[in-house]
């Protein structure tokens, strides 16, 4: 079956660093995506990993270990505007570009 697990909620302090984990078990793997979604809005693309290792993009970094079925999103120098849901999604097999989404992690950044 297809299974993607993320923590439901996390809380962190402004200026701090937070790591959001995602584990997956899927029948195919065509990369792992992270999206940010503010309440009532559309998800926006943050990162993509298909090779093992760390991808850094400004304050956000994403890590992938394919052998462990594990990824994390690292947010540095947290700002209040980073309060949002963070969605982990796995690209399915084949050329369909289908994504399988986790339930999302709701991050609350506190002053």
Partner 1 sequence: DGGITQSPKYLFRKEGQNVTLSCEQNLNHDAMYWYRQDPGQGLRLIYYSQIVNDFQKGDIAEGYSVSREKKESFPLTVTSAQKNPTAFYLCASSIHRQGVRVPYNEQFFGPGTRLTVL
Name the DSSP letter for residue 40. T
Measured CA distances, 40 to 5, 36, 43, 75, 81 (Å):
22, 12, 9, 22, 15
Piece in contact with partner 1 (CB under 8 A), picked from 10-18, 21-29, 65-73, 90-98: 90-98
Which backbone phi and psi does 82 adopt, to 5 degrees? -80, -5
Q: Which of residues 38, 59, 68, 98 is near partner 1 by CB under 8 A?
A: 98
Name residue, tokens 């505007």: 81
Closest CB to partner 1 among 42 and 67?
Answer: 42
- Residue 51 interacts with partner 1 (CB under 8 A): yes or no: yes
Min dist. Cβ of residue 58 to partner 1 (A)? 14
d(Cα 41, Cα 30) in Å, to the nearest integer? Answer: 26
Contact set with partner 1 (CB under 8 A): 4, 8, 31, 33, 40-45, 48, 50-51, 55, 87, 89, 91, 96-99, 101-104
């Amino acid at each position: 079956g297809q299974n993607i697990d993320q923590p439901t909620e996390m809380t962190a302090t402004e200026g701090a660093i937070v790591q959001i984990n995602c584990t997956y078990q899927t029948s195919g793997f065509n990369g792992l995506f992270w999206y940010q979604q503010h309440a009532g809005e559309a998800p926006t693309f943050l990162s993509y990993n298909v090779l093992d290792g760390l991808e850094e993009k400004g304050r956000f970094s994403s890590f992938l270990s394919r052998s462990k079925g594990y990824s994390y999103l690292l947010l540095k120098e947290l700002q209040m505007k980073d309060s949002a849901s963070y969605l982990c999604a796995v690209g399915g097999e084949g050329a369909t570009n289908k994504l399988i989404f986790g339930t999302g992690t709701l991050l609350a950044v506190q002053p």
